[in-house]
Structure 1
Amino acid sequence: MAKQEYIKKNKEWIEAKAKEEGVKPLARGVYYKVIAQGDANSPQPKRRSIITAHYTGRTINGKQFDSSRGGAPLAIRLSDLIEGWIIAMQEMHVGDRWEVYIPAELGYGKFSEPGIPGGSTLIFDIELLQVG
């Protein structure tokens, strides 16, 4: 598939996903669906928070490119992650598990990463375990 065709297909995918039942919008074209609800009174991360989370990342064709499940959870400063994660996680509470849909511009953009072609919409199953 040609690069421009791939980018167009990814944009169309997220536009269609946004119209599905249960899918909610966040800032700048990020969308999510709640898999499990945490405690609404539990902490929410800020941009400079250290977060601990389990996640699985896929492209729109269902190909998994990364996962912490089955191993140690990710522990990192939120501001060190891609912009789509920063936007979504600041809305999450500890215990929330969301499927998050991130447009390419808020992921890796036009650059390719291992297992992720440039222009890819990213799908993450994120479970927020802790905020430090």
Structure 2
Amino acid sequence: MKKSIITALACIVTLFVSMSVSASDTLVTASGIKYVRIKEGDGIHPQPGQTVKVIYSRKSSTGRVVETNEGGKPFKFQVDNHEVIPGWDEAVKLMSKGEKWYCIIPSELGYGKKGVEGVIAPNATLYFYIEVVDIK
């Protein structure tokens, strides 16, 4: 319970500090992904099998960047081809080219109970900035 409260507070702080948005700006998908649309895209969403290129940053629950490709080559993957965590496939299909989100991905749509040894704790909620830069 205490960990949930701390995680929720860290999440709220991250949202307010990094984006200056209100809680009413946060949307939630049916599966539980929470997101704030930072920048609108062109309205054309990627379809299963298409390749998307994204710029992203993964943050810790305290808002510290722990992984990013900003300033480098976009990360490329095929939608719905099990190349990324389920939360990314779901989120990216809802985005369009040029769109940028801050999203909070629940553990079950991330790395789940296993986590990634030495990198992502088991049952970790994931915090990302994701921008779709191209769809082919």
Superposition TM-score, scaled by structure 1 size: 0.81
Higher RCO, Cα 8 Å, sep 6+: 1
Which consecutive segments of 4 or more residues in structure 1 shift more than 4 A? none
Aligned positions, number: 123
Pick closer, same or farther for the CA change 1:49–1:97 going to 2, 3 Å. Answer: same
Alpha-carbon separation, structure 1, partners of 2:135 and 2:76: 9
Please tell me whether residue 89 in structure 1 is matched to residue 92 in structure 2: yes
Contact 1:57–1:65 at 8 Å: present in 2 too? yes
Please, which of 106, 127, 130 is the counterpart of residue 131 of structure 2? 127
| Equivalent residue, structure 2, for 1:65 | 66
- Percent identity between matched residues is 27
Shift of 1:110: 1.5
RMSD: 2.3
One-letter amino acid matched to 1:125 = Y
The one-character-per-residue Cα deviations of 1:45-85 (angstroms, maximum 9, x if unpaired) are: 12321110100011312232321102101011122111111
Secondary structure of 2:94's partner?
coil
Pick closer, same or farther for the CA change 1:71–1:57 going to 2, 3 Å. Answer: same
Secondary structure of 1:109's partner?
coil
Map residues 34-73 of structure 1 onto 2, 5 A cutoff. Answer: 34-40=37-43, 43-73=44-74
| Gapped regions of structure 1 (runs ≥ 5) | none
Superposition TM-score, scaled by structure 2 size: 0.79
Contact 1:59–1:121 at 8 Å: present in 2 too? no
Please, which of 117, 121, 126 is the counterpart of residue 117 of structure 1? 121
Contact 1:65–1:116 at 8 Å: present in 2 too? no
Map residues 8-19 of structure 1 onto 2, 5 A cutoff. Answer: 8-9=4-5, 13=8
